[in-house]
Amino acid sequence: METVLFLTSVEPDGTLAKPALETLNAALSLAAGLDNAPLIVGLVGDAAQSAANTIATCGAATFLAVTGGDFTSSRYATDAAAAEALAKAAHATVIIAPATSRWSRVMAGVACRLGGRIDTHATAITVTSGVPLITRWYYRQRMVATQHRAQRPWVITLDPGCAEPWNGSAGIAQLESVTVNLPATAKRTTVVGLQSPAADAQTIRPDAKLLFVAGAGWTKKQADGQIHAEEAPKLILDFLKSSQASLGGTKSVVDLSGEGEAVLPFMTHLNQVGQTGATPRHAKGLATCCHGEEPHVVGWRFVNERRVINTDPNCSWTRGKADVVYVADAFAVMRKLNERVAKK
């Protein structure tokens, strides 16, 4: 019989983040599908009791935790040691962790230490005829595969946004502590602080309902023969502020920023959507001044409703890649839209 370990870290404020709750739900349905295999929760962090209490009623057989100041921050040596100890204490055959930056960087090493195998970036975990299966996309979301593995333990990282977060009532979890004896070499890296942009400078918002994409057209000469270097950033930032949409960019527009020709100075490579960029998962997307070339549009694979504003009726979006194409000047449309939103 399989034993499923749900592995995650506790946030510094003692909570579990959304990707962790999504992964918990996926792990619970996997365990249920495997003839109600035992599900064990493994938590890593400064302290874990309050986080465990928030999921106390999830149906887990056991709650394990590696805790202490050494495990508060993301650090390869300590996270890997904690994950290895939890997997061994749980006798886990399938280990599921969220594909956050923290766990993505350690889980391959953990699988190696356990003599197991890993599959990363799973987008679904199911069971067919008693066999656990994962769904994973390849070649920049152009092909989808369903896979299983005979090797145990099998480590799986689940991409954020692919499952509903677990939502149940809190309780009191019986937390069992797992001790990890860290050598001094595991603590050579120290976290001295965190730097993050001011809240209003943060334009990448994975939880936003709308993805607003700006293309290179915003930086080009318009019908009047002029580049509108002042108006373009203002229209975009005003819209982002009022709609709280997430900002994406095309490769062309983010490359321009990198080359110092920034008409949109807030656009970085982190905003890039596409083959060599990100594959966001927003419910709706609006592409503006963007041609819709295949290496860009492949990044829209998981955006459900796609709308486009382009002056060119023959832009690449019109070839079946968008749900709605407005053949219009994005400057004029966004000016009007911002006016309307401001009135509301």
Ligand X SMILES: Cc1cc2nc3c(=O)[nH]c(=O)nc-3n(C[C@H](O)[C@H](O)[C@H](O)COP(=O)(O)OP(=O)(O)OC[C@H]3O[C@@H](n4cnc5c(N)ncnc54)[C@H](O)[C@@H]3O)c2cc1C
Q: Smaller CB distance to ligand X: residue 3 or 316?
A: 316
**Could you tell me the smallest distance in angstroms from the CB atom of residue 283 to ligand X?**
21
Backbone angles phi, psi at 179, to 5 degrees: -90, 135
Taking the CB of residue 123, how many other CB atoms lie within 10 A of it? 18
CA angle 323, 228, 340 (to 5 degrees): 55
Q: Contact between 38 and ligand X (CB under 6 A)?
A: no
**Could you tell me the smallest distance in angstroms from the CB atom of residue 204 to ligand X?**
15
Q: Contact between 39 and ligand X (CB under 6 A)?
A: no
Per-residue contact string for residues 227-256; x = within reach of ligand X by CB under 6 A: -----------------------xxxx---
Provide the pairing of β-strand 143-147 with 131-138: antiparallel
Q: Contact between 119 and ligand X (CB under 6 A)?
A: no
Q: Contact between 21 and ligand X (CB under 6 A)?
A: no
Among 21, 48, 95, 216, binds ligand X (CB under 6 A): 216
Q: Smaller CB distance to ligand X: residue 18 or 228?
A: 228
Q: Contact between 322 and ligand X (CB under 6 A)?
A: no
Among 94, 286, 330, 337, binds ligand X (CB under 6 A): 330
Q: Smaller CB distance to ligand X: residue 21 or 254?
A: 254
Q: Provide Rg for the chain, Cα atoms.
A: 23
Could you tell me how many residues make up the chain?
A: 344
Q: Smaller CB distance to ligand X: residue 108 or 333?
A: 333
- Structure-token pair, residue 60: 């887990």
**Could you tell me the smallest distance in angstroms from the CB atom of residue 304 to ligand X?**
19
Residue 327 · residue 311 · CB < 8 Å: yes
End-to-end CA distance of the chain: 58
Q: Smaller CB distance to ligand X: residue 246 or 250?
A: 250
Q: Smaller CB distance to ligand X: residue 215 or 285?
A: 215
**Could you tell me the smallest distance in angstroms from the CB atom of residue 137 to ligand X?**
15
Span 260-289, contacts to ligand X by CB under 6 A: 272-277, 289
Provide the pairing of β-strand 117-128 with 175-177: unpaired
Q: Smaller CB distance to ligand X: residue 136 or 228?
A: 228
Q: Contact between 312 and ligand X (CB under 6 A)?
A: yes
Q: Contact between 338 and ligand X (CB under 6 A)?
A: no
Among 309, 322, 325, 337, binds ligand X (CB under 6 A): 309
Q: Smaller CB distance to ligand X: residue 180 or 264?
A: 264
- Give me the residues that bind ligand X (CB under 6 A), please: 215-217, 220, 222, 250-253, 272-277, 289-291, 293, 295-296, 299, 309-312, 315, 329-331
